[in-house]
Amino acid sequence: MRILAVENLPIADVKVIRYARFIDERGYFAEHFRKSDFESGSEMGFMKGIEFLQCNESRSKYGTIRGLHFQWDPCMGKLVRTLAGRMVDLALDIRKGSPSFGKIIAYEMPASPGADFGEWIWVPPGFAHGNYFTAESHIEYFCSGEYNPACEAGISPIAADIDWSLCNPELKKEFEALAAAGSLMSEKDRRGHSVSSWSDNSNSDRFVWENRSPGTF
């Protein structure tokens, strides 16, 4: 695997990992994950000690909004990429005491099959994760914990008290247009917590920010 770049997003614990594709007249080949490369090199220090225990894939129709999901016992980080279509990934900081608590960021991830690189986005534990889709799309994500339905919760992506100030304004506008048009969203997601109601839940104390090594919270 050849890692080309690691980019910090406006909340620096959320990262974009760009890797090489090798292109010729037939198409391309890409080694999109190799554990040793994720654990070596100074630019990948935030992944040291992270082990992926589950891999999921998802197909979404145009206009779908998913999220914002998280769990505890075990906590789960997600490494996400777009296989086909166009995803905009969403990450909301739920770490109590964090300077960016309650703030959301968005990152556009089209499949771009003709590009000479692919991308992962790393959403670590301590973030509520979601996405929206402006084309029929297929995504894949590796998880650093196994799914536990007894210890999951969500913040509604349309909650009025989410702080969008760090988000790209054009992506925020696009999200709002989808939501206003009656997007495809599950009732469970639509009726999820607000930031404030989640903060009042005793389980929110499981997510506390400490200014310590990457990959932890």
Q: For residues 199-203, give the mean pLDDT.
A: 96
pTM comes to: 0.93
Q: For residues 139-155, give the mean pLDDT.
A: 96
pLDDT at 12 over 60: yes
Q: By the 8 A CB rule, do 190 and 131 touch?
A: no
pLDDT confidence of residue 39: 86
Write the pLDDT tens digit of every residue in 24-79.
999 999 999 999 998 887 789 999 889 999 999 999 999 999 999 999 999 999 99
Angstrom distances, CA of residue 36 to CA of 40, 45, 171: 6, 12, 34
pLDDT confidence of residue 211: 63
Write the pLDDT tens digit of every residue in 101-118.
999 999 999 999 999 999
Is 28 among the residues known to form the active site?
Answer: no
What is the side-by-side strand order in the sheet with 152-154?
104-110, 86-93, 127-133, 65-71, 152-154
Kindly name the residue from 69, 107, 132, 193 that is annotated as catalytic.
69
Question: Hey, which residues does 142 pair with through a beta bridge?
Answer: 55, 79
Per-residue pLDDT band for 216 (boundaries 50, 70, 90) equals very low
> ω before 149 within 30° of 0 (cis)?
no
Any idea what DSSP says for residue 214? Answer: T
Is 19 among the residues known to form the active site?
Answer: no
Q: For residues 72-93, give the mean pLDDT.
A: 97
Rounded Cα distance, 78 and 99, in Å: 22
CATH architecture of the domain 3-205 equals: Sandwich (2.60)
Average pLDDT, the chain: 94
> ω before 90 within 30° of 0 (cis)?
no
Kindly name the residue from 19, 129, 141, 193 that is annotated as catalytic.
141
Rounded Cα distance, 47 and 214, in Å: 8
